[in-house]
Amino acid sequence: MLMQSVLTQRFGLTFHHDQRELSVYALTVAKGGPKMTVTADPPSGSRNFLYRGLGDLRVTNSTMKDFCDGMQGSAMDKPVVDHTGLTDRYDFQLKWTPDDSQFAQFGPRPPQPASEDPNAPPSLYTALQEQLGLKLEATKAKADVLVIDHVEKPSEN
């Protein structure tokens, strides 16, 4: 909200939210249903989305929308939309082996040697199904976008 205020004051920025059809990742419940733990006695406002390393994520007291927003902001290269229909808050850990398209916003990573380790975590898509009972699919769907209506050169300091 503070950033919005600054942009509005300095640049005369006006905008609105809209729904547009985009290429997205849709999160749905996999066959067999969810395998996550519902948060017991959720503390109000306290949720956690913590990476212990690339592909090692701990989530607490979070909705599926929180999870989608976190994945979109950190790991994925397209918007992630919640199509699960789940409304509870959950606690879970997710471990996967990232591919080259994930975590791109953190800059180039050294190439990973092909792992022969049979204990290496699976891909994100397999890990979601096996560990959480969720499915992530590339598709087209309506997603929230920010539409800029007006912007000006910045005001003097």
> Bridge partners of 49?
59
pLDDT tens for 116-150 read 678 889 999 999 999 999 999 999 998 888 899 99
Q: What is the DSSP string of 6-45?
A: HHHHHH--EEEEEEEEEEEEEEEEPTT---PEEPSSPPTT
- Quickly state the pLDDT bin for 114 (edges 50, 70, 90): low
Hey, what are 52's tokens?
A: 């212990």
Three-state DSSP class for residue 155: coil
Calpha distance 157→133 (Å, rounded): 53
Hey, what are 153's tokens?
A: 């050169």
pLDDT tens for 42-56 read 666 677 899 998 899
What is the per-residue pLDDT for 61?
92
| pLDDT above 70: percentage of residues in the chain | 90
pLDDT tens for 54-106 read 899 999 999 999 999 999 999 999 999 999 999 999 999 999 999 888 888 77
What is the per-residue pLDDT for 65?
95
